[in-house]
Structure 1
Amino acid sequence: MSTSSGPEGTPLGDHPTPPPAQYTPLAAGNRVAYRTWGAPTAPPVVLLHGRTTNSTDWTDIAEALSATRRVYAPDIRGHGLSDWPGGYHYPQLVADIAEFIDALGLERVDLVGHSMGGAIALQVAQSRPEKITRIVLEDALPPFPLVPARATDPRPPQEEIDALDYDWDLIPATDEGANHPHPEWEAGLSKIAAPVLVVSGGEASFLSDAEQQKLTDLLPDARRVTIPVGHLIHRNDPDGFLAELRAFGIY
């Protein structure tokens, strides 16, 4: 069981036991840990977690999806059992996930991304449009500056950092990416041909409805639904989240 903190995560609580982690090396030498569910021959879906959590955060959702899908959930660099090599700006996170998909030999995948994972999913879809069939953005960080800007908390004492199951150095790096995203990320939305489902958390989320609607409007083929339970939609209303995935054709 893992613990998370901050606006993109809360204590994860009890889960069914997730499958053991597997590992794949990337070209830069760092390893990505990931977990799988479902039959190896089933159509693949990749789940990208939010900041400060890890692949185990998807356990309930992944078990449901595994009835019809091969589910892959990586620990994004600096989280969980993946390596913590430093370098946590979005281009590095995106490159890791694109390479992860290639390393596993996945030809066509659906992407589901929560918060930070949603921002990564959007950028992977820009760099690998031929690989992506559908995209689900669960209260995703948008590719334009957050308003108000996110303030990074002061660096905590080292003993607190040592107790975390993520690398604290990713916090300022990803805050910078949320506050000052590269303009090409927003411009590149027009390259995304895959249909996109934008699932927003409503007024209880720290991401505004206006931001989520703007993101939806900028995508060529997107529709938006609201599940008004806050930022952690798949945790707070798993049945509602799965129902939207089912309607979208994810399983």
Structure 2
Amino acid sequence: MKLYYKDLGTGKPLILLHGLFGSSDNLFSVAKELAKKYHVYVIDERNHGNSPWSDIMNYDVIADDIKEFIEDHALQDAFIVGHSMGGKASMKIAQKYPELVRKLVVSDIAPRYYAPHHQTILAGLNSVNLETIESRTDADNQLAAHIKDLSTRQFLLKNLGRDEDGHFKWKINLSVITKQIEFVGAGINDSEVINTPTLFVRGGKSDYIKETDEPIIKRIFPNSTIKTIEGASHWIHAEKPIEFINLILEFDSE
């Protein structure tokens, strides 16, 4: 699959991978800072943003997509930074294709299984009647019946676009994501050790990486470090971008 991407900067290649319901736009401010040192590629993963849609959605095919991207762009020793779903995808890439990856930064996700927990968001997105809304405000009002938090709604509504005829549409493949949502929580095969140098970054206010996750992280990623950014929730790159960028740069200077 040929993925949509933006690239900026010069230097060694660094790939940024967004999380579920996200896109390359979510990480672009981080990309601009990292582009002072790297040639940064900010990718829309399949069924997200401006990348193609597919009926298949799992970490194996996402890893294959990124492998194809790396090969198409002749990237050597890629440094991959992934948030949440993108972090799980980066783990799978390093597990399947270790020769392609120099280092990983995994933002606020562990390699274990996570039970489905996006049902409210999916219910809200599926409740929006694209045929009747006339504005983003209309969409927000319908979404608010399910999702009370304004910042969450604003993030989700970045996925609202228009087709060639000017009608509203979702940029994400909402139908497939809804049907296959369990893939997001899938664990990484813990029988295969990943020796790629890896930095796990967790938010101090997030429960996505718990102390009980440290043994499985160390077992699968023996060459890993775990750092905490205090005051950050799951959206580390948005809430504490300077601290997040500094950790990435420090990790790659070691």
What band does the TM-score fall into relative to the shorter chain?
A: 0.7 to 0.9
* Higher mean C-alpha deviation, range 77-86 or range 158-167: 158-167
Instruction: Report deviation, 1:145.
Output: 1.7
- Are 1:169 and 2:175 matched, yes or no? yes
Structure 1 partner of 2:3: 32
Partner secondary structure for residue 32 of structure 1 = coil
* Higher mean C-alpha deviation, range 210-219 or range 95-104: 210-219
- Are 1:145 and 2:146 matched, yes or no? no
Partner amino acid, structure 1, of 2:73: L
Partner amino acid, structure 2, of 1:185: N
Instruction: Report deviation, 1:137.
Output: 0.3
Cα pair distance change 1:90/1:165, threshold 3 Å:
same
CA–CA separation in structure 1 for the residues paired with 2:236 and 2:180: 21
- Return the structure number with greater helix share: 2
Q: Deviations over 1:87-112 (max 9, x none)?
A: 11222222111111111111211010
Instruction: Report deviation, 1:171.
Output: 3.0
CA–CA separation in structure 2 for the residues paired with 1:225 and 1:173: 34
Structure 2 residue corresponding to 1:232, chosen from 222, 231, 235? 235
Structure 1 partner of 2:191: 187
CA–CA separation in structure 2 for the residues paired with 1:213 and 1:180: 17
Q: For the Cα contact (< 8 Å) 1:111–1:135, is it kept in 2?
A: yes
Cα pair distance change 1:187/1:158, threshold 3 Å:
farther
- Are 1:69 and 2:73 matched, yes or no? no
| Length-normalised TM-score, structure 1 | 0.77
Cα pair distance change 1:173/1:136, threshold 3 Å:
farther
Q: For the Cα contact (< 8 Å) 1:88–1:169, is it kept in 2?
A: no
CA–CA separation in structure 2 for the residues paired with 1:72 and 1:38: 9
- Are 1:108 and 2:77 matched, yes or no? yes
CA–CA separation in structure 2 for the residues paired with 1:214 and 1:170: 33
* Runs (5+) with no aligned partner, structure 1: 1-25
Partner amino acid, structure 2, of 1:87: I
Partner amino acid, structure 2, of 1:115: S
CA–CA separation in structure 2 for the residues paired with 1:51 and 1:57: 11
Structure 1 residue corresponding to 2:223, chosen from 221, 224, 239? 221
Instruction: Report deviation, 1:175.
Output: 3.0
Partner secondary structure for residue 208 of structure 2 = coil
Q: For the Cα contact (< 8 Å) 2:108–2:209, is it kept in 1?
A: no
CA–CA separation in structure 2 for the residues paired with 1:244 and 1:54: 22
CA–CA separation in structure 1 for the residues paired with 2:177 and 2:100: 29
Aligned residues: 213
Instruction: Report deviation, 1:176.
Output: 1.1
What RMSD in Å do the two structures reach over aligned CA positions?
A: 2.3
Identity fraction in percent:
27
Structure 2 residue corresponding to 1:94, chosen from 41, 63, 70? 63
CA–CA separation in structure 1 for the residues paired with 2:94 and 2:179: 21
Cα pair distance change 1:65/1:173, threshold 3 Å:
farther
Instruction: Report deviation, 1:206.
Output: 4.4
CA–CA separation in structure 2 for the residues paired with 1:52 and 1:127: 24
